Structure 1
Amino acid sequence: MDGAKDMGEAGVPTRWQEDEVPRMELTSRTSRPAGGSDPEGIAPRLRLHLAAEARGVRVQDVRIGLGYTAVRLGDGRTGVAYTFRDLARGGCSVFRGARPLVGRLADELLAFLESSDAIEAAVGLACANALANREGLGELHGDILEHLEVTPEDEVAMIGNFAPLLEGLRLQARSLTVFERLDGPGSRELRADHEAPEVLARSSVALITATSLLNGTLDTILKAARNCRVVALLGASTPLVPEVFEGTCVTLLSGVVVHQPEGVLQVVSEGGGMRQFGPSIRKVSLRLGAGRP
């Protein structure tokens, strides 16, 4: 994340700017836990929900960039996910799964969602986001801060440093605490990621980076945030699939729809990120119904 000005288009959800800075890693500098994701967690639910959509669909292109990973399907639908390059294993061959990826069925790539390898998980999530990539989802328009409906009584916990949101949240909320990986001492507002569950338990608003799906921490975070009034999953990695989050505490999904695949693929290949995607994507937000467990 950085303090760059809002790069969103007018009339669409704006301000959050998930970027390629390693500070978004949140919790772990190593791999996800052995054995992959929780069988009752979001990743397996996402895979199961999209299984029928993936059946018979071929993968046309895969790019594993330094900032993002992208998957394009045979029908042109394209999705992206953050690349955790600091978690890459295997030396110069950072993708350790079977090759080639191009030409395989989408459900084969979707299986990587539950991988304990962060790079494989990125391929799986990018494939999931491609399968879910469509216009007309009933999305919300305007500033994302308006949809969060933060009040002066709210205590906000932000998992991952979405810098463009900070100033507005400081003005709206009683308190704001940001959690990320720290190499040195933190501060009252900036705390080490391992302290997040304790603070989430007493917060009323939780803003969570979707990259937590890739390092295996999202399910734990959602359990800690279960009493929050507002729980938003943010960033280009966000799967815009409301059904997967039914029965969870998530109330808002804020991600992207890719409508110029070639532009996105080129940016990914050249090591770019959100700021470079520009007009190739559109930021959207989806409000979820009351579905608390």
Structure 2
Amino acid sequence: MITTELKEHVLARWPEKRLVDVRIGLGYTAVRLDDDSVGVAYTFHREAASGCSVFKGKRPLAGRTTTEILDYLESSDPLEAAVGLACANALVNQPQPEHCEGDLLHFLSVGFLDRVGMVGFFGPLVAPLKKRSRELLIFERDVTRADGLLPAAEAFARLPQCDVAVITSTSLMLGQLDRLLEAASGCREVALVGASTPLAPEVFRPYQVTLLSGITVLDGPSVLQVVSEGGGMEFFGDSVRKVNVRV
């Protein structure tokens, strides 16, 4: 699975560090390492266990090594997977010369004859993609978020009919990315999108992914505070930089 390959890639290329702070917010999960690097991943809080203690994993998280916590990338528990992915992103998503700053739409190749399949509802992208493409199909777990959304399960059957695929990287934590990329293997352009995206092109190149669109954290303390207060991308502001990497 891609999560296993991501874990092995990170373990092989980044030295072991220790976690000094972990925030599991309602919108995002954030991990800070002992070199002050911070990574984030989406929190699937609705899928969390019931009760007053929703995280059932290792405690305390602070003080543990990245080697231990990266095992959570392969967890079927969504909160554990979020901690594992945030840890990976704290290591991987550091500024690099090949990173291109800016919005995804500046780098995504979409033409007026293209059918675009979007897995996960990215509100700010909808109107521009509808304008630039022949058709936009949006597959979403919560179809009540907007009009015209299709059930997420339909993506596996309909992505093969698309020319461009825009896929939420949160699918890594749900164990669905392998199947989604298989369904999108015939697309000319395949982008993994969102703050949860690990900017590791070597991992995704064999799967015909062509573009990674994620973030690097510039102001760790500010991001940690936003996460603790239940905020997300709209409140990260200048504390993060949107970056894109051609695969």
**TM interval, short-chain normalised:** over 0.9
In structure 2, the residue corresponding to 1:66 is in which secondary structure? coil
Q: Distance in 2 between matches of 1:242 and 1:167?
A: 28
Alignment of 1:81-230 (within 5 A): 81-182=41-142, 189-230=148-189
- Partner in structure 1 of residue 242 of structure 2: 283
Higher helix share: 2
2:161 counterpart letter in structure 1: R
In structure 1, the residue corresponding to 2:139 is in which secondary structure? strand
Q: Does 1:258 align with 2:217?
A: yes
Deviation at 1:155, TM superposition (A): 0.5
**Cα pair distance change 1:241/1:60, threshold 3 Å:** same
Counterpart contact for 1:68–1:272, Cα < 8 Å? yes
Deviation at 1:42, TM superposition (A): 1.3
Counterpart contact for 1:209–1:235, Cα < 8 Å? yes
**Cα pair distance change 1:56/1:196, threshold 3 Å:** closer
1:281 counterpart letter in structure 2: V
Q: Distance in 1 between matches of 2:220 and 2:106?
A: 29
Q: Does 1:57 align with 2:11?
A: no
TM-score, normalized by length of structure 1? Answer: 0.81
**Cα pair distance change 1:55/1:90, threshold 3 Å:** farther
**Cα pair distance change 1:55/1:115, threshold 3 Å:** same
Q: Distance in 2 between matches of 1:224 and 1:246?
A: 16
1:204 counterpart letter in structure 2: D
Counterpart contact for 1:179–1:196, Cα < 8 Å? yes
Counterpart contact for 2:102–2:243, Cα < 8 Å? no
Q: Distance in 2 between matches of 1:259 and 1:199?
A: 38
2:121 counterpart letter in structure 1: N
> What's the CA shift string for 1:100-137, capped at 9, x where partnerless?
11011111111100001000000000000001131124
Q: Distance in 2 between matches of 1:57 and 1:142?
A: 30
**Cα pair distance change 1:142/1:81, threshold 3 Å:** closer
**Cα pair distance change 1:77/1:53, threshold 3 Å:** farther
In structure 2, the residue corresponding to 1:264 is in which secondary structure? helix
Counterpart contact for 1:90–1:96, Cα < 8 Å? no
Q: Distance in 2 between matches of 1:135 and 1:183?
A: 35
Q: Distance in 2 between matches of 1:199 and 1:49?
A: 31
Q: Which runs of 4+ in 1 moved over 3 A?
A: 52-56
Unmatched tracts of structure 1, length 5 or more: 1-40, 289-293
Counterpart contact for 1:42–1:219, Cα < 8 Å? yes
Q: Distance in 1 between matches of 2:21 and 2:157?
A: 42
Q: Distance in 2 between matches of 1:259 and 1:205?
A: 31
> What's the CA shift string for 1:81-106, capped at 9, x where partnerless?
00000110152211111201101111
Paired positions, count? 246
- Partner in structure 2 of residue 24 of structure 1: none
- When the two chains are superposed, the root-mean-square deviation of aligned CA atoms in Å is 1.5
Q: Distance in 2 between matches of 1:141 and 1:117?
A: 33
Q: Distance in 1 between matches of 2:3 and 2:24?
A: 20
TM-score, normalized by length of structure 2? Answer: 0.95
Deviation at 1:56, TM superposition (A): 3.3
- Partner in structure 1 of residue 33 of structure 2: 73
1:87 counterpart letter in structure 2: E
Bigger mean CA offset, 117-126 vs 173-182: 173-182
